[in-house]
Amino acid sequence: MVNKKVGIVGVGNVGSTLAYALANKGICSTIVLKDIRENIVQAMALDISQAANAAKSHTLVTAAIDGKDLKGCDVIVVTAGIPRKPGMSRDDLLLTNAKIMKSVIEDIKNNAPNAIIIVVSNPLDAMVYSALKSSGFKRNQIIGMAGILDSARMSHFILEKLGYGAGQIESSVMGGHGDDMVPLPNYSTVAGVPLSELLTDEEIEEIVTKTKNGGLQIVKLLEIGSAYYAPAHATSLMVEAILHNQKKIYPCAVLLDGEYGYKNIVGGVPVMLGSNGIEKIIELNLNKSQEAQFKKSVASVQELVDTLESKFFS
């Protein structure tokens, strides 16, 4: 049994689904759940730990009483924050969630300063920036989850269009986790076959648009919040890659330091994940149109960061 500890701060839809996925996989010895809803978090911990026992997994799930219970965590996932409702964009969550992020990060800094942190709360890229700024941690330690989710959505829409290829679709999405994200059809394949061999330009464009609107589509249907099954699974892959030093490459939101020509801004790019968090950033050869789209996406994130700097951090 691997002696690893995972913390999840924010145990709502995404956090609890993630805990359930991780506990059933049995890839860590302990999961500690922390939320401001104290009774609910205790109930979740009991229920999920009992599910893990039913699954004969070796993971114990506990509820944190205070920040000290985060001590010794190898990885901490932050999903604390409000989700959007119909009529809202992710960006509308900026100031509310930045405040929550600051208090959560303070807790982590005091109790688990060496943990690798995966940020899920929205608006994602600005929250990664916010977590870095509030903590003063190095960039390898704080990583945002979005690209795996957006790529999975793209794969879903490709499968829906083609009607075959399930489990053999590799999709690639870069940029910020917002309306300007950058799906990359030329880096997407079905069993190694480029998308352009299988679908028309119009069909690919339709998939790109659906991918960008994937989160919104679910928000409109759910009415009370946003997606959580796919986000939780995507996050579990990142947790696993870090806990087990897998060196897998996933699209993640990280602070750029010259990569793709940008500095001191967060963007979604292919990243190698291992026990140090970010182990390497891969620079793809983007064509002119993709470079322009990435630039637009980075500019949208920069606007949010500027708002944070002037209204929150000043």
Ligand X SMILES: O=C([O-])CC(=O)C(=O)O
Ligand Y SMILES: NC(=O)C1=CN([C@@H]2O[C@H](COP(=O)(O)OP(=O)(O)OC[C@H]3O[C@@H](n4cnc5c(N)ncnc54)[C@H](O)[C@@H]3O)[C@@H](O)[C@H]2O)C=CC1
Least Cα distance to 5 among 31, 25, 26 occurs for 31
Task: Choose from ligand Y, ligand X, none: what does 193 bind? Cβ within 5-8 Å by kind.
Answer: none
Contacting residue, 122, 188, 235, 290, with ligand X by CB under 6 A: 122
Q: Does 5 engage in binding with ligand X (CB under 6 A)?
A: no
Q: Is 125 in the site for ligand Y (CB under 6 A)?
A: no
Q: Is 225 annotated as a binding residue?
A: no
8 A C-beta contact, residue 146 and residue 124 = yes
117's CB contacts (< 8 A; 6+ apart) are 75, 76, 77, 78, 105, 108, 131, 135, 137, 141, 142, 143
Tokens of 153: 């959505």
Selected binder of ligand X within 34, 90, 133, 212 (CB under 6 A): 90
Angle at the Cα of 13 from the Cα atoms of 32 and 170, rounded to 5 degrees: 95
119 binds ligand X (CB under 6 A): no
What single letter denotes the amino acid at residue 230? A
Residue from 6, 143, 219, 255 touching ligand X (CB under 6 A): that is 219
2 is in an annotated binding site: no
Stretch that binds ligand X, among 74-82, 224-232, 239-247, 295-303 (CB under 6 A): 224-232
* 83 contributes a contact to ligand Y by CB under 6 A: yes
Contact region with ligand X (CB under 6 A), list: 3-11, 30-38, 216-224, 257-265 = 216-224
Tell me, yes or no, if 177 is annotated catalytic.
yes
Cβ(21)–Cβ(238) below 8 Å: no
276 assigned ligand-binding residue: no
CB 211 within 8 A of CB 218: no
Neighbour-count burial of 166, counting CB atoms closer than 10 A to its CB (0-12 exposed, 13-18 middle, 19+ buried) = exposed
Instruction: Rule CB under 6 A: say whether 293 interacts with ligand Y.
Output: no
From the candidates 58, 156, 177, 244, which is the catalytic residue?
Answer: 177
Q: Residue 18 half-sphere exposure, CB side, CA atoms within 13 Å?
A: 34
| Among the residue ranges 29-37, 211-219, 258-266, 299-307, the one whose residues contact ligand X (CB under 6 A) | 211-219
31 binds ligand Y (CB under 6 A): no
Tell me if 84 contacts ligand X by CB under 6 A: yes
**How far is residue 199's CA from residue 204's CA, in Å, rounded to a whole number?**
6
The span from the CA of 191 to the CA of 76, in Å, is 34
Q: Is 139 annotated as a binding residue?
A: no
Residues in 178-207 at the binding interface with ligand Y, rule: CB under 6 A: none
Q: What residue numbers does the annotated binding site for NAD(+) cover?
A: 10-15, 35, 97, 120-122
Q: Which residues bind ligand Y (CB under 6 A)?
A: 9-15, 34-37, 79-84, 93, 97, 100, 103-104, 120-122, 124, 145-146, 149, 177, 225-228, 231
Active-site residues, by number, are: 177
